[in-house]
Amino acid sequence: MRRSCYNRAMKFICKTLLITCLASLPQLALAVAVEALYSATVEVADQSREQRQKGFSQALAAVLVKTTGANDIADRPGVDQALAHASDYMVKYAYLAQPAPVSPPADSEALDMAPAVDMAPAADMAAVAPVFPLSVQFAKAAVDKLTRTLDLPIWPANRPELLVWVVEQTASGYRFVDAADLPVSLQNSFQRRGLPFQLPLYDLGDQLALSSLAAWSLNQQQLQEAAKRYGSDHWLVLRYSQVSSGAVRGSWYLAARNGRFAGQGALLNTLQGASSDDFLSRSVDQVVDRFAQQMAYFADTEADLFRLVVENIGSFAAFTQLNDFLGGLEVVNSVKVRSIEGDTIVLDLAMEGESRVLLRALNKESRLSRVTELGADTLEPSAPATSPQTAGAEHFRWQAAR
């Protein structure tokens, strides 16, 4: 009996240690393929044809904001004509169920005491016109063609996931604003712009790594250490407080894993909003604008060739996976096999944008590892010797098919 209890206790301890170790591993959040880029939900006044067409235009504008990264998309040349014919790009639409109206709790005693003249405003409030949520799905191919026809920027769907700390200064000091108290405007703003984000857990591990005062003070070393747990390439601090006028003043601070953002030092900007929702929404727009400026590209009229050498393609399954991955990149128009030698394949990729966009996507792919050059004729690891055929090419190694 004693031995049986001992075995159960040891199993429990081992299981607890295993869960603790797994929980402490960094979460790989280097890049996320953003979903629902080609759909949007808007509100219309009724279900008439006129309001439906208006909703289609609003939804297409919302989709273009997400796919191009341009917040001022409606002001770009030619976009107004496209929005006027938004139904041409639509796949399907549906009216969503409306949330049930929230009525104030009845208080018979208070109603009895209230003068009769005060009942009119309450009746007017009950007569507020309803809104109808309209969900619209657009055809990816049609929207992509429109983007290229109008020479709009293209923001690939594979985007970095941003780690966000929100810090508020109150009369009693500084505090992290967690998910329970977070204004809904923050999530809505990120979703509207198509940039994924995550909030810290704010558990004991986070509390030991970073205090609210250190986050407010923008202690870069502690922020870097705290961000390691989440594996994020980029992180953002939103800090704000309410001033005597009732407005909200604060700043956002954007940095990356190496302490720099897009080759620059960490970015800091101060602004003021009418409320915390206004401040957060404007901050998110400014931050997303920075990402879109760095990661979006314009389609070229004539495609450029990008030479890619990939090792460890030892099976048809590996080749299929590689081909599917490359073919799914927005910046790649076509993939052509130039040569195959052993398990090494040389590909010519026809691009419609800058090579930096393609290189960023290749470096983010977990199944590809960059092969670095050690000398004039030596590559690591186990790369074929550079030849005229592959000179100037980018070398990668494919991970074993899973």
* pTM: predicted TM-score of the whole model, two decimal places: 0.73
In this structure, of 100-104, 172-176, 204-208, the range with the lowest mean pLDDT score is: 100-104
pLDDT higher than 60, residue 19: no
Do 366 and 343 meet the contact criterion of CB atoms below 8 Å apart?
no
Count Cβ atoms below 10 Å from residue 151 Cβ, excluding itself: 12
pLDDT higher than 80, residue 107: no
pLDDT value of residue 318 = 87
pLDDT in tens, 278-329: 999 999 999 999 999 988 988 875 567 889 999 999 887 888 889 888 988 8
Name the residue with higher pLDDT: 185 or 352: 185
Nearest-CA neighbor of 238 among 264, 261, 267?
267
pLDDT in tens, 4-17: 544 554 544 444 43
pLDDT value of residue 344 = 92
- Map out the domains of the chain with their CATH numbers: 28-97+130-157 (no CATH), 160-288 (3.40.50), 304-398 (no CATH)
pLDDT value of residue 32 = 75
Q: How confident is the model at residue 52 (pLDDT cuts 50, 70, 90)?
A: very high
266: buried, middle or exposed (CB in 10 Å: 19+, 13-18, 0-12)?
Answer: middle
Residues 6+ apart with CB under 8 A from 6: none
pLDDT higher than 70, residue 152: yes
SS3 (DSSP) at 350: strand
